Structure 1
Amino acid sequence: MRTVVDVRDSNSTTTYTNVGPQPSDSPPSGSRPAFSQPRRARGLSMQREPDFNTNIDLDGDIWLPDKSDVELGEIPENEGDFSSWLGVLIAAKEKHGRDGVLAVWEAVKRRRSWKDVTSEEAKSFWGIILETVLHDEDKLKGVALFAECLLHDNSAQWPSLYLTTVSHCLRKGQYRRALQWHMRLMPNFDPGQEAFGTLLRQFAVTAEPDMHQTLQALYLTAIHRGFYNEIIPLLYESGLSQQCAGWRHAFIRHDDLPPPNAESQPYLSFLARYYPTTTLELEEQVVIGLNSKAYWDAQDDSLWEAINDTHGDESGPPGRQHSDKLGARWFASSWVPLDFAIHAVHALGVHHIGPLSLQSIALRESTAKGVMARIEQLRTVNIGIGHSAYAWVLKRFAENNDDELLAELLHTDIHPDVFDDPAILASIRDKAFDEGDWKTHRLLLAVQPAMVEDSVDSTSNILLHHFVDEGRFKQALALLDEMRTMDIEVHASTIQHICASILDPLPWNPKTTAHNQEAFSTAIAFLTRLTLLQKPLHSRYWQKILFGLGKFGRFGVLEEISLGILDTYQHLCISNAGLLPVHLLDAPPLGVESSARNVLVPTDLPISHEQHPMRRIFDNPALHAAIVRWGFKAGGSQCLDPAKDVSSDSEATGGGFSLARGVRLLAVLNDRGIPFRTSVVQEEVVKCLARTYLSRVSGAPRMNADLPPLKSTLELFNKAAARRLLPDVAELQDLMTEARGKQRRGL
Structure 2
Amino acid sequence: MKRGALSPGFWAFRSICSTTDGHQIYGRVISALLRHGLFEDALSMHKFLIQRDDHPQDYEELQPLLIYAKENGPWTFSEKLHSYAANRFPEQSEPAEESPGVSVEAGPEDKPLKDDFGARLFATGALAFETIVSGLQMFGVSAIGPHSLREMAVRAHGSQDILEKLRQLQNAGISLGDSVFARLLRRLATENREILLSDLIHSDQHPDVLEDAHVQESLLISSYMAREWRLYHLTLAVLGEIPDVRSDLPSLHFRKYITAGEWSQALKLVDELTLRGQTLSQESIDFLVAQVLTPRKPGARPPQSTDFPSDQEVTLVSRILQRVASTGVSIPTDLWVEILKRYGMTNHWDELHDCCLWLARHYSCRSPHVDTARVPMLPEKSHAGVHAGSGVHAGSRVQSIRQLQDIFDRHMQAAIVAWGFRMRISTQSKKTYNPSGTPEGDLVPWVRGVVLLRELGENGVELRPGWILRACRQRLAVLYGGPRHSGRRMNRMLRRENPYSVERVVSDLNRAWGEPALIQHRGGKSLQELVNPPLSNVSLHRTHRTMLNHARYLRDIVYEYIRLEKQSS
Name the TM-score, length of structure 2 as normaliser: 0.40
Name the TM-score, length of structure 1 as normaliser: 0.31
Structure number with larger C-alpha Rg: 2
If asked which structure has higher relative contact order (CA below 8 Å, sep 6+), I would say 2
Q: Which structure's residues are more often strand, by fraction? A: 1
